[in-house]
Amino acid sequence: MAPDDGTARRADSSPASEFDIPGDAAGIEGLAAAGLAPGRASAAARRASPASSPPLGTGRVETVPVGTLTLESGASLPVTVAYRHDGPGPDAPQALVVHALTGSADAAGDWWEPVIGPGRALDTDRVGVLCANLLGGRYGTTGPTSPHPGTGSPYGSAFPQPTVRDEAAVLWALADRLGIERFALVAGGSLGGMVAQEVALARPGAAGHVAVLGAPAATGAMALGWNHIQLGLIDALGERGLELARQLAMTTYRSEADFDGRFGRSVEDDGRFTVSSYLDYQGHKILGRFDPDTYRVLVRVMDNHDVGRGRGGTLEAFRALAASGTGLTGIGIEGDILFGPDQVRRLVDEAVGAGVDASYREIRSAKGHDAFLIEWEQLTAFLSDALADALGRATREVTATA
């Protein structure tokens, strides 16, 4: 069979998988060093002077130091973030897009390209669109492959473990560095949907609408179990374990119907089942663009996800969004076995119970979890609606304060 290469789009414009998407400078002393939490500085202080402002609207990936940040674990970490920003700058409404497990900052040029750009769902003629590689990632943001400032060697397994809330704090630190005070819309799928919730909860008044695709309010037991097996393989077998972990993960990103339709019981010339050949290829390919330590860090971020942790439960956590007037759309995916529709419905139900203006939508597809990177027509409709709601809320807020 032809290799299923997710780094280039096939003729039907669908990527192979959510996770098939393609050195850091030491960070500078920033808000944390000054004793200020991200977002506590004045608006004037957060805006850099024109001469020192990082570039916006470049349509390509840039890197910028955002400061030495203190993680929930207590570890202090100088952080540089790789990001891409398309469209108008901070004076216009802004949207934040958050990638999934092994994604990059290049949403507009790669994995969500069909929904970002002029005239598209996230219309860069009207709004700025920001995407950043997550902390601990592999594509430009500080992570296990970055040089430790004290030794010059990669952090490797010594990289301090971040949480989902640390990921949100880094994204807000980047926003502060770029002069972005508010996001009209925060959207993400899978791990990105988890981080999107925490971005909104970190500063509820600074997020107009949250679109959560294929992600729950807390990572469930089945996903924790799959992640446990993947991490066990990596811990025991290193790079070979990463190959096998990837193969296991691939079986959770698609549906039974998709695998049956694509592979069935067909056999390759070498006698292997076609599905086995496909999984072997995907396992081998991950070694060319990822590493065991980075994979381990980001899987543990996913395991940590629970918006109710330390907040009195999910319902109490979402009350902060209700109080700030933040809207929420939970988008489930038909046939998703990783984070199924019932988990997303439960998130929406708890948000509604907390008083949030929230609604549930569902992607109809045979593709399973990966449908949020495949079903472009449905995604366009859902994201267009979410952005319209976000912009409407912003307009109403301006009118109410005028």
For residue 168 the two structure tokens come to 């949100």
Following CA atoms 45, 122, 339, 164 in sequence, which dihedral angle do they give, to the nearest 10 degrees? -10
| CA–CA separation, 302 and 218 (whole Å) | 9
For residue 117 the two structure tokens come to 């750009």
What separation in angstroms does the CA of 285 have from each of 120, 202, 246, 267, 398?
Answer: 31, 36, 9, 21, 49
Q: 106, 369, 370, 389: which is the annotated catalytic residue?
A: 369
CB atoms within 10 A of CB 398: 9
Q: 86, 166, 258, 336: which is the annotated catalytic residue?
A: 336
Encode 300-325: b = buried (16+ Cβ within 10 Å), e = exposed: ebbbbbbbeeeeebbbebbbbbbebb
Whether 369 is catalytic is yes
CB atoms within 10 A of CB 352: 18
What separation in angstroms does the CA of 372 have from each of 23, 30, 145, 209, 330?
Answer: 30, 36, 29, 18, 12
Residue 330, φ and ψ in degrees, nearest 5? -100, 125
| CA–CA separation, 223 and 388 (whole Å) | 33
For residue 43 the two structure tokens come to 């608006």
Class of residue 386 by CB neighbours under 10 A (exposed 0-12, middle 13-18, buried 19+): buried
| CA–CA separation, 334 and 254 (whole Å) | 11
Residues near 149 by Cβ (< 8 Å), separated by ≥ 6?
26, 78
Residue 117, φ and ψ in degrees, nearest 5? 145, 175
Whether 305 is catalytic is no
Strand order across the 128-132 sheet: 61-70, 76-86, 128-132, 94-98, 183-189, 207-213, 327-333, 357-363
Whether 190 is catalytic is yes
Quote the DSSP letter at residue 368: G
Q: 104, 190, 255, 277: which is the annotated catalytic residue?
A: 190
Angle at 255 between CA 15 and CA 213, to 5 degrees: 65
DSSP β-bridge partners for residue 129 = 86, 95
Catalytic residues: 190, 336, 369
